[in-house]
Amino acid sequence: MTTKRFTVALLAMFAIIINTSAQKIKQKNSTELSQILEKDKKIVILDVRTPQEFEAGHLKGAQNIDIYQDNFYTRIDKLDKNATYLVYCRTSNRSTTAVGYMQQNGFKNLFQMMDGFPGWAYNKLPYEK
């Protein structure tokens, strides 16, 4: 490999590392996110659980985009990549998949609720049915 190619490859690798670190997913628990939501009303809340789970209880104003649906990624791709999102599910497994996809596809401002909807309900935070 020539010095020029090596330098270009090295610069590309550094750019990827810098870009990835600039797009970190902020993993928070429900009480921390409740406080963040109180301060920032522009955060878009995404519930990636099934419609049945969503109907049983969800955060106020949440959009339900079921990760198990065939059109999940198409629906995510249509969202504003510059908006700030809070993504949650039941146990953080599905939300991990969702925020990982979002991060890889250019979404820059992501919060993930690590204790999921049960944590939100357990902490007696307000939700809708």
Active-site residue set: 89
| DSSP per position, 6-41 | HHHHHHHHHHHHHHHHHT-EEEE-HHHHHHHHHH-T
User: b/e for 78-117, b at 16 or more Cβ within 10 A?
Assistant: ebeeeebbbbbbbebebbbebbeebbeeebebbbbbbbbb
DSSP β-bridge partners for residue 106: none
